[in-house]
Amino acid sequence: MPTRKSALVTGAGGFIGHHLVTYLVSRGYDVRGVDIKSPEYGASAAHEFVIADLRDEQNCLQATRGMDEVYHLAADMGGIGYITSFHAEISTNNTLINLHMLRAARESAVRRFLFSSSACVYPQHLQESADVAPLCEDDAWPADPEEGYGLEKLYMEKLCQYFMEDHGLETRVVRFHNVYGPQGTYSGGREKAPAAICRKVALAPDGGPIEIWGDGQQTRSFMYVDDCVTGIHRIMQSDYRQPLNLGTDELVSVDALVDLVCGIARKSLKKRHDPSRPQGVRGRNSDNSRLREVLGWEPATPLRTGLVPTYRWIRDRVAADALQSAATAAE
């Protein structure tokens, strides 16, 4: 009988990590999850869940011992408002986590190490138009990444390359393009655009206003979390050693995203734009040509299809939060 593979998922208390743990367990892996916090919305499916600060190298060494594969998703990150406000803190925390995890994976003789990078590595000057051309992997150089978060992601991509070339550690790099879905952060400042918009729509009365950051014409592509975890696993098992985009090429404006969520909620809301709020690059889209070539696969969930369960989950959470607040106030 073949030995079951063991996998470590860092950031297992976060949105993508929580879903990835469930996916790997369903595929027969023995899974260890590690995070600085427990999952917010339900217990982890991991066989072992460890609370640990991965900025400490000893914690990284303990986490990687005995593991065949490491899916390194742990990061200090959030939505555009957060990552544009805390460059020093984000860069410092993620640099420590990433370097220590790479060193620990090598020392623990991990077979494969996957790093979760970001589309924030792409040059700013290629993203100045809402009607942006899809970004292919080679566009990352010459470098001009997003300050802080994007820069440290790009540097870690190179560290993965160096550890593979110098030490023989098999590394894989995936560049995420805007992941959304149920069980993700939806309030507090770290949420991404789909979750923030779902929350705002859920809170707004029919016919009322909704605040939109920027002028609403900035564009993005969004990937449903089920497609994301499938893609992560496929990339890990592939023989491709260079960075790969993981996203969709369904480009949509923020205003159009609001319209989609309003349609799902059956609400008509009045858009109120606030150009003073952070909105990031003007446009960003994923070129999936290389992903299709390498995997013979790409994310396929249409945005509206994925938004239905996402909105319903956030709507129910918002309602539960309101009941909890009312009960607390009544005490």
DSSP string computed for 45-75: --SEEEE--TTSHHHHHHHHTT-SEEEE---
Asked if 81 and 278 count as a contact pair (C-beta separation under 8 A), the reply is yes
Distance CA 173, CA 166 (A): 17
What ranges in the chain are assigned the alpha helix state H? 15-26, 57-64, 80-83, 87-107, 149-167, 193-203, 225-237, 254-265, 289-295, 303-330
Rg of the chain on CA atoms, in Å: 20
Distance CA 294, CA 305 (A): 26
Helix (H, G, I), strand (E, B), or coil: what is residue 227? helix
Distance CA 182, CA 33 (A): 19
- Tell me the catalytic residues: 149
Q: Which residues contact 101 (CB under 8 A, 6 or more apart)?
A: 10, 54, 60, 64, 70, 72, 74, 113
Judged by phi (left if over 0) then psi (alpha if -120 to 50, else beta), residue 296 lies in left
Q: Which residues contact 309 (CB under 8 A, 6 or more apart)?
A: 181, 182
